[in-house]
Amino acid sequence: MRRYFKYLKGSCFAVLLAPLMMILEVYCDLRQPELMSAIVDDGIRGGLGSSYILSAGGRMLLVALVGFAGGALSLVFATIASQNFGRKLRSDAFSKVQSFSFANIDDFSSASLVTRITNDVVFLQTIVAMALRMFVRAPMTFFGGIWHALMIKPQLAAIIFIAIPLLLAVLILTIRKAFPIFKTVQAKLDKVNAVIQENLTGIRVVKAYNRAQHENDRFGKANMEFASLSIRAQQIMALMMPLLTLIMNAAVVSVLWFGANLVGADEIQVGEVSALITYITRILGSLMMMSMMFTSASRAQASAERINAILDENIDIMDPDQPTTRPITRGDVEFRDVSFRYKGAAGDAVKNISFTVKGGETVAILGSTGSGKSTLVNLIPRLYDVTSGAVLVDGVDVRNYRISDLRSAVGVVLQDNILFSGSIAENLRWGDENATEEELSHAAKMAQAEEFITANPDGYNAVLSQRGVNFSGGQKQRMAIARALVKKPKVLILDDSTSALDMTTESKIRKTLKTELSKMTVIIIAQRISSARNADKIMVMENGKIVDCGTHDYLLGNSRVYKEIYDSQLQADEEVHDV
Ligand code: ADP
Ligand code: MG
């Protein structure tokens, strides 16, 4: 909890004024019954006349206005403090997520991250606003009310001391029942968000496969669970309210009963009885307010835990304490007995990998899906860190480079390349913010993207919608390659990034890279032998291991797996030609 105080620091003024103004409001509130009773007892019954009643009424109005001003200002200051609190907390949580490594991201579902950063933060924000007002209001009304009541007539006020324990018993019982449910409600909301998010991300696939009904059912189920659990929690709380009202009314009736007797005996005045009743309702009302505060506080605690999980997540990939200052110039890549296992996985995704690639060489990696190709290349720019062994670039362990240095020297075109909303130029400049138009155009030319970009009437200013859905798969792949080339990397990794391109376009790209960027190391993950055959070295992977390695001709003669792939693709080609 302590960590959250820092988010209030910037709003000290508001944090201080909100409760102060609240004190003013409660003070005025508590004065009202007294003034009222003076009007009844002295003004009307005591016969002091209309001028007294008018001036007392005037005082009541004034006190009410001051109280109103206090209440309104308190709300304004509490809102300022809590909104700033929420803004800063959200911003911290968001930055923290930006520093997450791939492994960290695997720990949370993105839907859960969204709920935490939005919903849970808002909940804490509400509790802050409440704390600044209610936490002052409730106890002050409670004790102030008791004091005023006792001042009027201790014998009558004693009734509250019977009502309070009864009220507390009801409160504690219901809160105990409702709390555990409130905690699960948030988890159910996560599920609802998860379904929405997955659905929206894949909405095109959902449509193509006619899965809308299925998705509706899936959403309906999550939605229903969330709603019915919330209802259950509220039902328990609902039971509480009538019980509390019952106790309160019983207390009021008792005061009236005993009060009437005392008035008869001339021990107390009518106005005082009515003031006493008002105080008692206030006191018991403040208890209910405290119970609500308690409920909210416990829900806020659940939210705080969920936000803490983000803020406390151990970032496993960080800059070294003393990063090497040697720049990456050659683009040599070496794997030394590297194994990697995903968190929670039963086995290694890649095992005992060793190989070297000299700067400027082109290496192709072939293998069936799931054989570990993506995992292997992701270790080079430290998207994941090795479990054992070491990956070296230019002879230095990648963990010794400053991450930004490493990643600007290693360009990756990921398997699921994602473009962002914005213009083509903006997307390409992800590679290098300061790239000139010539540089963008040069990169696009090499990626065979220039043609379709300039064919567009808006050219480089053509706007991509979210995820670039207004471009074809092959166009997106070429823009993703261009984006990586803008970076002018020393090592370029293409993870299956030409799968949507026809063979001619793909071979053009390879040739251009070879001639124009002959000093750049290229690691290509490919499905087709045709994309791999001209590489200096081809590595064949199976079950996380490199089973064979060599040139195309060597592998044809010596690798069973390579020969199998070759034959199957040759066959497929022939079948196509036969048709
Ligand atoms: P490839 O790129 O050759 O198709 P991958 O490297 O993507 O294969 O996957 C290798 C293995 O690691 C697969 O068994 C896959 O299920 C597993 N895997 C991939 N990504 C993750 C991840 N983020 N978390 C856990 N397991 C993963
Ligand atoms: Mg892959």
pLDDT digits (tens, 9 = 90+) for 562-579: 998 888 887 776 665 554
Query: What pLDDT, on the 0 to 100 scale, is given for residue 576?
Result: 56
List of residues 6+ apart from 460 with CB closer than 8 A: 423, 424, 425, 428, 437, 440, 441, 453
Residue minimizing CA distance to atom 19 of ligand 1: 375
User: Is 17's C-beta closer than 6 angstroms to any atom of ligand 1?
Assistant: no
Ligand nearest to the CA of 378: 1
User: Is 375's C-beta closer than 6 angstroms to any atom of ligand 1?
Assistant: yes
Ligand nearest to the CA of 496: 2
pLDDT tens readout for residues 91-126: 999 999 999 988 888 888 777 788 889 988 999 999
Per-chain mean pLDDT for the chain: 89
Q: Dihedral angle at the C-alpha atoms of 332, 337, 342, 347, nearest 10 degrees?
A: 150
Burial 109-135 (b: 16+ CB within 10 A, else e): bebbbbbbbebbbebbbbbbbbbbbbb
Separation of alpha carbons 127 and 134, rounded Å: 10
Lowest mean pLDDT among 124-133, 202-211, 258-267: 202-211
User: Is 369's C-beta closer than 6 angstroms to any atom of ligand 1?
Assistant: yes
Query: What pLDDT, on the 0 to 100 scale, is given for residue 498?
Result: 84
Is the pLDDT confidence value at 243 over 80? Answer: yes
Distance 370 CA to ligand 2 centre (A): 7
Of residues 307 and 179, which shows the higher confidence score?
A: 307
- Write down the pTM of the prediction: 0.76
User: Is 106's C-beta closer than 6 angstroms to any atom of ligand 1?
Assistant: yes
CA angle 573, 578, 579 (to 5 degrees): 105
> Which ligand 1 atom sits closest to the C-alpha of 373?
3
Residue 368: pLDDT band with limits 50, 70, 90: confident
List of residues 6+ apart from 35 with CB closer than 8 A: 56, 59, 60, 63
User: Is 373's C-beta closer than 6 angstroms to any atom of ligand 1?
Assistant: yes
Distance 372 CA to ligand 1 centre (A): 6
Pocket test for ligand 1, best of 342, 366, 499 (most atoms within 8 A of CB): 342
User: Is 374's C-beta closer than 6 angstroms to any atom of ligand 1?
Assistant: yes
Residue minimizing CA distance to atom 16 of ligand 1: 370
> Which ligand 1 atom sits closest to the C-alpha of 342?
25
> Which ligand 1 atom sits closest to the C-alpha of 372?
6
pLDDT tens readout for residues 387-410: 999 999 999 999 999 999 999 999
Distance 93 CA to ligand 1 centre (A): 28
User: Is 371's C-beta closer than 6 angstroms to any atom of ligand 1?
Assistant: yes
Separation of alpha carbons 269 and 261, rounded Å: 11
Ligand nearest to the CA of 350: 1
Burial 246-278 (b: 16+ CB within 10 A, else e): ebbeebbebbeebbeebeeeeebbebbbbbbbb
Distance 571 CA to ligand 1 centre (A): 28
Residue 208: pLDDT band with limits 50, 70, 90: confident
Residue minimizing CA distance to atom 25 of ligand 1: 342
pLDDT tens readout for residues 180-190: 887 788 778 87
Map tokens 């008792």 to a residue: 254
User: Is 372's C-beta closer than 6 angstroms to any atom of ligand 1?
Assistant: yes
What is the pLDDT averaged over residues 334-359?
A: 94
User: Is 349's C-beta closer than 6 angstroms to any atom of ligand 1?
Assistant: yes
